[in-house]
Amino acid sequence: MTSITGTTRCRVHIEGEADHAGTASMADRTDALAAASELVLAVESEARRIAAGESESVVATVGSLSVSPGAVNVVPSGATLEVDIRDVDVATIERLFNTVEDTCDSLRTTRGVNVTVDRSYDIAPQPMAEQLQAVLRRAASAVDLEPVSLHSGAGHDTMQVAEVTDSGMLFARSRGGHSHSPLEHTNWLDCGVATQVLTLALAEMAGAELYP
């Protein structure tokens, strides 16, 4: 593995005005949820644009949304959503966070809502040690595997370890490529091969003469 993604999370609260869904005209509404929907789509659109041409590792997700008062016949007065932004490049993360802030500024003007943004979670990307990547690649080649270099889109404890010493990670393949999901499954053969690769890598790091 080459690196572990960095992650920024922010909570956005949008405050509009509650009104009756039947008596409030469309022109007179300050709908917090409608404003929130614009932010959700702006985050997705910018992430897709960056991923298509600049960074295949970038992702951005609005995974939490709560609406008040939450009644079918009431124009929403409040919407709170949480945004998760990830990439192996800090500059890309900042660009997406700027998209959040710029969109919120626009919503204040165009929709008349009050918006607060709380950026409460920041973890920087963490590269894996080049020498350990090389060791793992040699170990994989020794058991007739074609090693694949990739980043981790999920965080790992290894990020903290890497702050104090050289660190590396080895992934065993999962059926269908699923990770951090109920669909994730690695068969015993692949577990065994990964263990073999890890054993050879550890032996080389310990100074054993393994390869011609």
Q: Spell out the per-residue pLDDT of the chain, length 212, in tens.
A: 799 999 999 999 999 999 999 999 999 999 999 999 999 999 999 999 999 999 999 999 999 999 999 999 999 999 999 999 999 999 999 999 999 999 999 999 999 999 999 999 999 999 999 999 999 999 999 999 998 888 888 888 888 888 899 999 999 988 988 888 899 899 999 999 999 999 999 999 988 776 65
Please report, for residues 70, 132, 139, 157, the alpha-carbon distance to residue 128 in angstroms, rounded to integers and kept in the order given. 46, 8, 17, 13
Which tokens in the block code for residue 55?
């960074």
Reduced to 3 states (helix: H, G, I; strand: E, B; else coil), residue 119 is strand
Burial class (CB in 10 A: 0-12, 13-18, 19+), 138: middle
The topology (CATH level 3) of 3-123 is Alpha-Beta Plaits (3.30.70)
What are the sequence ranges of the domains in the chain? 3-123, 128-205
Residue 54 has a CB neighbour count (10 Å cut-off) of: 12
Reduced to 3 states (helix: H, G, I; strand: E, B; else coil), residue 149 is coil
Q: Does domain 128-205 have CATH number 1.20.58?
A: no
Whole-angstrom distance, CA of residue 92 vs CA of residue 9: 14
Interval 3-41: pLDDT, tens: 999 999 999 999 999 999 999 999 999 999 999 999 999
Tell me if domain 3-123 and domain 128-205 are identical in fold.
no
